[in-house]
Structure 1
Amino acid sequence: MAITISAPTASSRAFDGLPAAIAQARAWVRELLPAGCGRVDDVVLVVSELTTNAVMHSASGAPGGRFALQVEVDAAAHSVGVTCIDLGPVLVRAARPEGEGGHGLALVRELADSYEVRSEPTSRTVCCWLDWAEHGEPANGGGRR
Structure 2
Amino acid sequence: MQLEIRPDPAEVGRARRWARARLAGSAIAADEPLAETLVLIVSELVTNAVVHTGCPAVLRLCLPQAAAGEATVRLEVTDRSTRAPVPRWADGDDTGGRGLALVDGLADRWGWSREGTGKRIWCELDRRDATRPAAAGRPAGGTAMYGACEGLAYEAV
TM-score by length of 1: 0.72
Unaligned residue ranges in structure 1 (runs of 5+): 1-10, 61-65, 92-97
Against the structure 1 CA distance between its residues 29 and 139, is the aligned structure 2 distance closer, same or farther, given a 3 Å change threshold? farther
Q: Distance in 1 between matches of 2:10 and 2:17?
A: 11
Q: Relative to structure 2, which stretch is displaced further, 104-113 or 36-45?
A: 36-45
SS at match of 1:39: helix
User: What CA distance in whole angstroms lies between the structure 1 residues aligned with 2:80 and 2:107?
Assistant: 23
The TM-score normalised by the length of structure 2 is 0.67
Shift of 1:120: 5.0
Q: Which has the larger radius of gyration?
A: 1
- 1:78-115 Cα distance to aligned partner (Å, 9 max, x none): 22110001121469xxxxxx522111111111111010
The equivalent residue for 1:35 is 29
Aligned residues: 123
SS of structure 1 residue aligned to 2:128: coil
* Equivalent-residue separation in structure 2 for 1:19 and 1:45 (angstroms): 15
- Provide structure 2 residue ranges, at least 5 long, that are not aligned to the other structure: 85-92, 137-145, 148-157
Please, which of 21, 43, 48 is the counterpart of residue 43 of structure 2? 48
**CA deviation profile, 1:43-71 (whole Å, cap 9, x unmatched):** 011000000000000131xxxxx110110
Amino acid at match of 2:57: F
- The CA RMSD measured in Å over matched residues stands at 2.8
**CA distance, structure 2, for counterparts of residue 137 and residue 25 of structure 1:** 32
Superposition misfits of 4+ residues, deviation over 6 angstroms: none
CA separation of 1:113 and 1:90: change in aligned 2, threshold 3 A: closer
